[in-house]
Each structure stands twice: as structure tokens, then as C-alpha cells.
């Protein structure tokens, strides 16, 4: 066995003889289920599946993989350093498995899928040199943040400075140390107050309603998830904010007329009635919760939802749907 992954009520593992196997849990025992040989998978360089071939090296096998229910497939790292994404492995009844090679990749060691934005990140054994004394190589493991904006990477760093290893408590013999690197792909510049920049993490996006900007965030001081609305004319400061606590982490938010709708990690949709009041020196906003619905029976995973909006359609009861 070369790698093991838990997917819902199944265990999926790869073996050194080139197989990918699924074991569903049934009570306290496991029954042997779907077994796929990577040598039977047709692989190509593009989605058109032109010039598809099968792997010819019989000693090549899967060393690490990740699974995406949304993409309905597996991202594979092979023992030769090559990598691919394979379709249809999520379906037990589909025996026509196809895959796409990751181009110009020959030293892959790990992989992680960004489920929200459908991105594949591969960690490699070689890393470009950064600076004159310290360069990271290779990547050991990595993980996307829940919002999909950050990628955490664990890698070894090699130093060619003779004086650095003796003073670095994390250094190993030979000037090697393990470091945690954060790659940030989107940075929020909403907050003007530098104190608030340290206290809040904007995580659920933002939207405009009239002359207010509404955003979903996590308050690091109170350790709670919030919705905050600020007047357009004021700076983003607590004294001008309309703050509403929410029961769980907000992934998405949007507005329709005078309704703010949010989607949370517990698969609940919450709607708030927005009301603007003319006050000095800036207008204020009140938020009143009007409805909450669960989508747990309709959404396989909250990160699969990439957008949310309201329409003017109405049910017979008069509630907004």
C-alpha cells in the first residue's frame, strides 16, 4: 500500500503494483469493492483526448492522490514524478476511465485539490532558488485553506550559509530545516484601520447594498463569524459598522432588493431584511433575520456551491424562494 484516503463512507488506497482500490464500510467490516489498474486508463494531453495512450512502464504506480466529488475524479502523483487527473473513478458502474496528463511535470511529489475553485496544486521535488542563501526543496506536503485563497506548504530548506545552521533551532545537520510557507492568492485591502486589519479576516466575500458595503468575516478577538456593513462615505471602523453575529462560517453572500442572503458552511441559507436610516454623520443600517433554510439534502458539500442569488419568484405561501 502506497497511499490511503478516506472519502465519505469509503476508504480508497493505492498499491505499489499499480492499482487504485475502494473499500466501502459496511457495519464493522469492509468488503472488497472497485479495483482499477492505472495501466488500463487511457491518458492524453488535452480534454479532446487526442493521441491517447496507456502507461507502458509497468513499475510505475500511484504514490499520492486526492479526490474531488465536484470534478468526479482523482488527481494522481506517480512514482516517476509524473502527474495526471483521471475522470470517472468516482462512479462504480463506469469502466471507461480517462485521464489528462499534467504537462511538463516530471518531479511531482504531492497534490491537493482546491474544491471551491477547481484548482489542482502539485508539489515538486525541485524548487527555484530564492535569494542567495536559502532555497526551499523539496515540497513535503500542502493543504488549501477552506476559503480557497491560501495554500499552506511544508518543505525542506537548504542553507549554504555556514553560520546559520548553528543558531537556527529548527535546523538539522547540513543546514537543512523544515519550513511552513503560506501562499496567498487573494489579499483583502478592505480595512483602512490598521487595528481592524489584525482583528478581522474577510472570508465570505463582499457585496454592495445602496451606499453600504457588506462583508462576511471572522472576528479574531471575539472568535466568532460576523456580517459587517459599513457606510460608503466612512472609513472601515468599528464605530461605523453594523455587526450581526452568524451561527457558522459564511462562504457566500449576495443582495436582492432589500434582502441580504448568506450561505454558510452548515449548508444553511439565511436571509436578512435590510433597512437604512438617515443619521448623522453617516447613515446607519439595521439587519433583521427573516428566514433560514437548510440545503443539506440538496448539496453534497458546502464548498461545491460557488454562487448564490435570489429571484422575484414566490411560492404560494408568499415566502421568497
Domains and CATH numbers, the chain: 3-184 (no CATH), 194-304 (2.40.128)
What is the band of 288 on the pLDDT scale with cuts at 50, 70, 90?
Answer: very high
Average pLDDT of the residues in 265-270: 93
Q: Is the pLDDT of residue 133 over 80?
A: no
**pLDDT tops 50 at residue 138:** yes
At 68 the pLDDT is: 83
Cβ atoms of 60 and 78 closer than 8 Å: yes
Tell me the pLDDT tens digit for each residue of 41-84: 888 887 776 777 888 777 789 999 998 877 778 999 999 999 99
118: left (phi over 0), alpha (psi -120 to 50) or beta: left
Distance from C-alpha of 94 to C-alpha of 140, rounded to nearest angstrom: 33
Q: Is the pLDDT of residue 115 over 90?
A: no
Instruction: Give the pLDDT confidence score for residue 129 in this predicted structure.
Output: 44
pLDDT reading at 311 higher than 70: yes
Q: What's the CA gap between 289 and 319, in Å, rounded?
A: 13
pLDDT for 244 beyond 60: yes
For 26, the enclosing helix (H) or strand (E) is: strand 19-26
- pLDDT at residue 168 in the model: 45
pLDDT of the residue at 64: 93
Q: What is the pTM of this model?
A: 0.61
Q: What is the pLDDT of residue 118?
A: 78
- Pick from 51-65, 89-103, 295-309: least confident: 89-103
Q: What is the mean pLDDT of residues 281-310?
A: 88
Query: What are the residues facing 112 on neighbouring strands?
Result: 121
**Cα–Cα distance, 90 to 33 (Å, whole number):** 12
Contact assessment for residue 123 and residue 135, using Cβ atoms and an 8 Å cutoff: no
Helix (H) or strand (E) holding 197: helix 194-199
Give pLDDT, residue 222: 87
pLDDT at 320 over 50: no
* Residue 318 clears pLDDT 60, i.e. is over it: no
What would the pLDDT profile of 159-190 be if each residue is shown by its tens digit?
555 444 434 444 455 567 788 888 876 554 44
Out of 160-164, 222-226, 265-269, which region has the weakest mean confidence (pLDDT)?
Answer: 160-164
pLDDT of amino acid 163: 46
- Section 247-267 average pLDDT: 92
Is the pLDDT at 92 greater than 50? The verdict is no
Q: Which of 74, 78, 64 is nearest to 97 (CA)?
A: 74
Amino acid at each position: 500500500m502506497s497511499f490511503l484516503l478516506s472519502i465519505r463512507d469509503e476508504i480508497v488506497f493505492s498499491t505499489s503494483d499499480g492499482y487504485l482500490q475502494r473499500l466501502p464500510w459496511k457495519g464493522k467490516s469492509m468488503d472488497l469493492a472497485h479495483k482499477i489498474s492505472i495501466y488500463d486508463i487511457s491518458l492524453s494531453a488535452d480534454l479532446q483526448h487526442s493521441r491517447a495512450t496507456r502507461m507502458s512502464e509497468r513499475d510505475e504506480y500511484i504514490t499520492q492522490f486526492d479526490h474531488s466529488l465536484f470534478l468526479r475524479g482523482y488527481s494522481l502523483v506517480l512514482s516517476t514524478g509524473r502527474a495526471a487527473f483521471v475522470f470517472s473513478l468516482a462512479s462504480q458502474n463506469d469502466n471507461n476511465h480517462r485521464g489528462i496528463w499534467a504537462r511538463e511535470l516530471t518531479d511531482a511529489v504531492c497534490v491537493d485539490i482546491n474544491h471551491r475553485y477547481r484548482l489542482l496544486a502539485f508539489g515538486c521535488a525541485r524548487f527555484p532558488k530564492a535569494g542567495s542563501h536559502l532555497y526551499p526543496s523539496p515540497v513535503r506536503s500542502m493543504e488549501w485553506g477552506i476559503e480557497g485563497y491560501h495554500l499552506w506548504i511544508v518543505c525542506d530548506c537548504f542553507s549554504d550559509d555556514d553560520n546559520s545552521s548553528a543558531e537556527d533551532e529548527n535546523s538539522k545537520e547540513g543546514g537543512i530545516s523544515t519550513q511552513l510557507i503560506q501562499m496567498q492568492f487573494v489579499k483583502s485591502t478592505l480595512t483602512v484601520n490598521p487595528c481592524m486589519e489584525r482583528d478581522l479576516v474577510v472570508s465570505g466575500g463582499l457585496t454592495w447594498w445602496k451606499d453600504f458595503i457588506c462583508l462576511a468575516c471572522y472576528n479574531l478577538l471575539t472568535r466568532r463569524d460576523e456580517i459587517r456593513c459599513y457606510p460608503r462615505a466612512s472609513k472601515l471602523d468599528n464605530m461605523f459598522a453594523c455587526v450581526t453575529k452568524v451561527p457558522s462560517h459564511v462562504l457566500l453572500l449576495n443582495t436582492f432588493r432589500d434582502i441580504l442572503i448568506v450561505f454558510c458552511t452548515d449548508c444553511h441559507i439565511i436571509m436578512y431584511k435590510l433597512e437604512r436610516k438617515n443619521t448623522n454623520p453617516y447613515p446607519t443600517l439595521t439587519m433583521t433575520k427573516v428566514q433560514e433554510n437548510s440545503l443539506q439534502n440538496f448539496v453534497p458539500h458546502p464548498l461545491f456551491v460557488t454562487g448564490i442569488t435570489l429571484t422575484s419568484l414566490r411560492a404560494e405561501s408568499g415566502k421568497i424562494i
